[in-house]
Amino acid sequence: MKTIIKYLRDFVRADFNPVVYGLFFLFLAVTIFINYYFKFEQNILTPLNFKPGIFFYNFLFFIFPYFAVAAIKFSIEKKYHYFKNSEFWVKSLLFMFLIGFAQGFYQYRELIPEKITQEEFVFTARLFVNIKRFIIFLIPIFIIKLIYDRQSGTGLYGIHFHKFNVKPYFLILLFVIPLIVWASFQPDFLRTYPTLKPWYANGSYGLTYFQAYGIYEFFYGMDFMMVEFMFRGALIIGMMKILGKDALLPMVAAYAFLHFGKPAAETISSVFGGYVLGVIAFRTKSIWGGCILHIGLAFAMEAAALMQYYNMGKIEGL
């Protein structure tokens, strides 16, 4: 815990600019308010799913916060040389395209067999949702790594097996679990979690509830690893050679927009969580700390929601 606090303290001391941070938080406060007050993501972006231009719209949706915050920081701190760096443009535009493409890719539904039950369709679709980032992200980012960062010594943008201290991250999980238990009593929480409702798992393809849910949770965890791989791996570790610590705030802005379809409290917390996880990745040159926290929190929220459903009598056999 002390180690992570030191990471944060040292980073803030080196990076903090009151004007930049003030405009950064103002930008996110305004955009988050607009999204939830006018239901932008729900009423405007989501209906465009399956439309021919959805990938382009999602691309614009993510480049807007990333480059808006980058422009604020680079211009105020007079770091115009970043805009003249071709590697900055190639990497950032490709990473934003991959995020937008994965977010709007629903064509996997065409691969699902027609002659299955409604429960099996939902179960299969949820598996595809959790697998698609792995398929979309891995090869393009690996190619970028070979072209620009072959000798970086950070593995595949934070995926390496150097010695890593896991203790601080599990201590943080123990600290936040009571908060998750409290959140599980809120209606918004139960509308979102568990992400695969129990009645869509039991009996699918002849699997028991625990078999189906075990398979689902494995790929659910993989999806969070891919989120860390993109946002803390590619957008922090992959951009460090160009931007150094200045890679952090644009990443956090794009990461907040990723949460616009979730409860407002989760989007707001993603700003601070994304900042902390970004600092950890910046200091450790690894995504494993973020993976432990992100996946651990996700599994804890799933477990808390399942227990609430069990207490309400909606799950039998737990």
Which residues, given as ranges, of the chain have pLDDT below 50?
A: 316-318
How many residues are there in the chain?
A: 318
What pLDDT score was predicted for residue 51? Answer: 82
> What is the per-residue pLDDT across 185-203, written as a single tens digit (0 to 9) for each?
888 788 778 888 776 777 7
pLDDT at 16: 97
Amino acid 68: pLDDT: 98
What stretches of 39-117 show up as alpha helix (H) in DSSP?
40, 54-76, 86-104
Note the pLDDT of residue 205. Answer: 86
Q: What's residue 313's pLDDT?
A: 59
Residues β-bridged to residue 159:
156
pLDDT tens digits for range 47-95: 888 787 889 999 999 999 999 999 999 999 999 999 999 999 999 999 9
The pLDDT value given to residue 163: 74
Domain boundaries, given as residue ranges, for the chain? 2-311
Instruction: Show contacts of 205-210: CB within 8 Å, 24+ apart.
Output: 205/120, 205/123, 209/315, 209/317
Report DSSP letters for 217-241, one per residue: HHHHHHHHHHHHIIIIIIIIITTHH
The pLDDT value given to residue 245:
97
> What's the predicted TM-score (pTM) here?
0.91
d(CA 94, CA 145): 12
Position 314 scores a pLDDT of 55
Neighbours of 263 (CB within 10 A): 18
